[in-house]
Homo-oligomer: A and B are copies of this chain.
Amino acid sequence: MASYEHPYSPRDLQLPGYVPLSLSQIDIVLPYLGSSVVVVAAIWFLSGRFPKLSKTDRLLMCWWAFSGLTHIILEGYFAFVPDFFKKKTPFYLDELWKEYGKGDSRYVSRDSAIVALEGFTAAIEGPACLLVVYAIASRKSYSYILQFAICLGQLYGCMVYFVTSYLDGDNFATSPFYYWAYYVGANGFWVVIATLIAIRSWKKIISVFESGNKKKTK
């Protein structure tokens, strides 16, 4: 099998059959950002037709739709298409993951912890995120506990992701730029937002229990 030189770290990583990236960084990042903006704008617009929803609820619906589609489409493709970096006529998502690999080469070397996390995120958390969009819009009683559960899953996933990299030498980025932009930046975004939503959901659940207790003791 013909093999090209790859851009990943560590340099001695063996990737038989690797086909080099043909798209530029901007050709990969812009369509993702652009389609994310379209999704967020559509959910913001549609959710405005529900008069009872607060702005926070509508923002949360945008986040969950964006997060769910990222989990299902992007991470699902990675998890269930193991030979993405060998495709002779690569598709956009193959190129996206080859690009992301510059921030963390464990994606191209298919580290088993990464595949386990991404498979679970795509198959379970992704659909659950979309269910949250519906649950917020229709004011379901499971809305907060479901958001809390998904946030914990995202945070646990990030914990395993960062700790395994640290334990294995933290040498999987092509350069400091990719380390900070892709490995820390893209994932840090989920850590921060999942933490905020988890705290908000926890507080809401506690407050409902407390108001229930107060009613009982009256």
Contacts and interface: CB of A to CB of B under 8 A. Distances in A.
Interface string A168-195: 1000000000000000000000000000
A105 B112 CA distance: 16
A65 to B, nearest CB: 22
A169 to B, nearest CB: 9
A149 B201 CA distance: 12
A145 to B, nearest CB: 5
Contacts of A119: 163
A24 interface: no
B116 A206 contact: no
Interface string A142-175: 1011001100110011011001100110000000
Contacts of A112: 113, 163-164, 167-168
B141 A206 contact: yes
A144 B119 CA distance: 28
Contacts of A164: 112-113, 116
A207 to B, nearest CB: 8
A108 to B, nearest CB: 15
B205 A145 contact: yes
Main secondary structure of the interface of A (DSSP, over half): helix
A130 interface: no
Nearest to A161: B116
A164 B164 CA distance: 12
Given A141-B210, A145-B205, A215-B215, 13 more contacts: A112-B164, A113-B116, A113-B164, A116-B159, A119-B163, A120-B159, A141-B206, A144-B209, A145-B202, A149-B152, A156-B157, A205-B205, A208-B208
22 contacts: A112-B113, A112-B164, A112-B167, A113-B116, A115-B167, A116-B159, A116-B163, A116-B167, A117-B160, A120-B159, A141-B210, A142-B202, A142-B206, A145-B145, A145-B148, A145-B202, A152-B153, A153-B156, A160-B160, A208-B208, A208-B209, A211-B212
